[in-house]
Amino acid sequence: MMKTKKAGLIALIAFTLVAIIHLFSFEVSPLPTQLLFASRWILIMVLILFAVVKKSLTTWILVSILFGATLGSDFPGVALSFQPLSQGFIKLIKTIVGPILFATLVYGIAGHSDLKQVGRMAWKSLLYFYSATTIALFIGLAAINITKAGVGVDASKIPHHDLPKTSVVKEADAAALKNIPEGDQWIYKTTSFFRDIFPENIVKSIYENQVLQIVIFSVIFGIGLAKLPEGKKKPIVDFMESLSETMFKYTHLIMYFAPIGVGAAMAYTVGHMGIDILKYLFMLLITLYAALIAFILLVLLPVALYLKIPIKKFIQAIREPVSIAFATTSSDAALPAVMRNMEQFGVPRKIVSFVVPTGYSFNLDGTTLYLSLASIFVAQAAGMDLSFGQQLLIALTLMITSKGVAAIPRASLIILIATAEQFGLPIVIIAAILGIDELMDMGRTSVNVIGNCLASVVVAKWEKEFDESKALAFKD
């Protein structure tokens, strides 16, 4: 313990000194490049030694994020070459998502829960999800209207990038929409969303990581299994329990690769865009992060305090999954750590396995906030003065279209493009901000994960099944 404290103190002193040196060089007087370079890499070595002493996976992940950022800044060519490692980590994670959701949901419904409780969890979860995301949406609108970050932006001077080719409107739906009056198209889009949550092929849904489709199939399968006589359902329930336990062990093994995958992802991000990318659209970036912090402090924190959730322990529980989400910009990558840590934090598995996967489609607080903020930013940059009513209409549209956004990097851009097209906003502005979207994606994905972690605790508290003793005893 003493050894760890000493190593931590040395790491903190080294980090502070390097930060002061770089701040002095940037703000007061430029220092030799060799000195700055050497100080950065000495710090990295000290942090690696601290991680060796600490022996914590979360510490290794945080150190790997700093290592990746430094590598990307100093050796961009080398950093770009590490992209396959981050892609490999994401592929490993994707092998977990389908089986772990299916096994835990079916076991939770058929093995432990009565069907009335499943219904209660469903309406309580959805009520909380829609309340949280609606507030997030309006915080985004308020933030961009206060800072007016898009007013006066010269899009011609911002690096342009290729937009995603995918559209949220399928070709068949696009053809159908042509025959429907414009005022009624929102009805078709709403009903098509509900159509698309049902899987036509569960294997295909698992292959494509369609979280909501997997959840729907698992819930119906679990209800069907629960209705069987005890003798007939027991073998399948036992199998689901074994499968879920195996997948959690499988996850545990894969997470040893997380520092490498996360570090490679960060290295590629910085090497691909460069640190200087921060000077482009700085106000938009600051506005988004300020709005996300405001959402955490004004919404999530009061909820946690009201429910008397041990804040310090909760932060410890979410630190690892949020670090993964921040570095990889993928909620999917953080899913196994979320489910494992929330269960260790005192949320019963039957609640975690229902609330978190559902939240991945309905409780994307960070993404919803970003979409409302970014859509108005695009209008401001284009010189369009939208009335409150027009902004409210965009917000109401986003409330529908943002549900079911895939938990993968850059998926929200597709929603933003579709919304811009619908309201006549210039797509070229979205192409311009794509250059810093990865930096924004880090923040909004992290808030998505925080929101879903808290949601599982909220529902557990609501169901009076939260284990306070496990929460207080939680360790990294």
pLDDT tens digits for range 89-141: 877 877 877 787 788 778 877 875 567 777 788 888 889 998 998 999 999 99
The string of DSSP codes covering 125-165 is HHHHHHHHHHHHHHHHHHHHHHH-TTTT--GGGSPP-PPPS
Q: What is the dihedral of CA 390, 395, 398, 399, to 10 degrees?
A: -140
Q: Write the DSSP symbol of residue 403.
A: T
Which CATH entry fits the domain spanning 88-255+316-472: 2.60.120.260, 1.10.3720.10, 1.10.3860.10, 3.40.190.10? 1.10.3860.10
Q: What is the pLDDT of residue 281?
A: 62
Q: Using pLDDT thresholds of 50, 70 and 90, give the confidence band for residue 418.
A: low
In degrees to the nearest 10, what's the CA dihedral of 177, 183, 189, 194? -130
Six-digit token string for 197: 């949550």
What does the CA dihedral 85, 210, 192, 218 come to, rounded to 10 degrees? Answer: -170
For residue 200, what pLDDT is reported? 86
* pLDDT attached to residue 277: 44
The amino acid occupying position 54 is K
| pLDDT bracket for residue 317 (50, 70, 90) | very high
Q: What is the rounded average pLDDT for all residues in the chain?
A: 81
Given a cut of 60, is residue 408 above it in pLDDT?
A: no
Q: What is the pTM of this model?
A: 0.69
Neighbour count for residue 216 (Cβ, 10 Å): 19
Answer with the residue of higher pLDDT: 279 or 70.
70
How far apart are alpha carbons 272 and 153 in whole angstroms? 24
Q: Terminal CA-to-CA distance of the chain, rounded, Å? A: 15
Q: What is the pLDDT of residues 148-201, one digit of tens each?
A: 887 766 555 554 555 444 444 566 777 777 788 877 777 877 787 778 778 888
3-state SS assignment for residue 200: coil
For residue 402, give Cα distances in angstroms to 276, 396, 406. Answer: 31, 10, 10
Are the C-beta atoms of 190 and 421 separated by less than 8 Å? Answer: no
Cα(364)–Cα(194) distance, integer angstroms: 17
Residue 36: which pLDDT band, with cuts at 50, 70 and 90?
confident
Query: Which pLDDT does position 84 carry in this prediction?
Result: 87
Q: Region 238-244: what's the mean pLDDT?
A: 87
Using one digit for the tens of pLDDT, what is the confidence trace for 370-396?
Answer: 888 888 888 887 777 778 878 888 877
In terms of phi and psi (left: phi > 0; alpha: psi -120 to 50; beta: otherwise), the region of 348 is beta
CB count in 10 Å sphere of residue 179: 7
